[in-house]
Amino acid sequence: MNHYPHPKFAKEGWLYIASSCGLALAVLFLTNLIAALPFILVAIFVLQFFRDPPRQIPEDADAILSPADGRIICVEKAFDEYQKVEALKISVFMNVFNVHSNRSPVDGEVLDVQYFAGKFVNADFDKASTENERNAVVVKMNNGQNITFVQVAGLVARRILCYVKAGAILKRGERYGFIRFGSRVDLYLPLDATPLVTIGQKVKATETILARIGSHG
């Protein structure tokens, strides 16, 4: 497990948490509970949005783990524009109530990181994969095969954060980024990968196995 210094709340949320909780307490102190209630509800929402609980990593070397919490909205053959190959695409949609910390689905070396400015259409739409702001990470797995996972901004998401660069070594379940306020993550896997999830299924980052892939060759 990757130990970072905020085991319960993401560091990206510290300012928001402090501000919302401080404002709620100030209004409560200066007025009354009824007047402060809207501010308290906002503070509770901010706390739940930026929660970042620890996760158990499955002991399965061939497993492709979910990079995010959310709901499966796509399992299909598609073109990976970042590697220019046909691939198995699996997409996870995150609403504002999901944990938004993004974690590596595999062990491997980062070959490339590509950022694209774009629109902010609803991340539940297929066109969001190619039209929205997004950040793609291409990783060479320890078995020699490559996969791509892409952070995609959504309708209200306005900030994609990615903390890895080419040459970095990622471990399964390691936290590599964050997307604020609703979004999706697309994975592009080799065509021989076996999907283990279905449309509409709810998944959890790191703990849910999305697919399984064997060694190259």
- Take residue 99 and report the two structure tokens written for it: 């944990």
pLDDT one-digit tens code per residue, 179-206:
876 688 999 999 999 999 999 999 999 9
Nearest 5°: the CA angle 213, 215, 217 is 120
The confidence score (pLDDT) of residue 165 equals: 93
20 is catalytic: no
d(CA 185, CA 68): 7
Question: Which DSSP helix (H) or strand (E) runs through 94?
Answer: strand 85-94
d(CA 14, CA 80): 35
Pairing of strands 108-116, 101-103: unpaired
Domain boundaries, the chain: 11-49, 63-212
Q: Give the active site residue among 19, 91, 183, 215.
A: 183
Indicate the residue type of 136.
A
Which of the residues in the chain have pLDDT under 70? 1-7, 118, 120-125, 128, 155-158, 181-182, 214-217
Question: Which DSSP helix (H) or strand (E) runs through 176?
Answer: strand 175-179
CATH numeric code, 63-212: 2.70.70.10
Nearest CA-CA partner of 175 in 101, 113, 110:
101
In what order do the strands lie in the sheet containing 101-103? 101-103, 175-179, 160-162
Q: What are the two backbone dihedrals, phi and then psi, of residue 37, each rounded to the nearest 5 degrees?
A: -55, -45
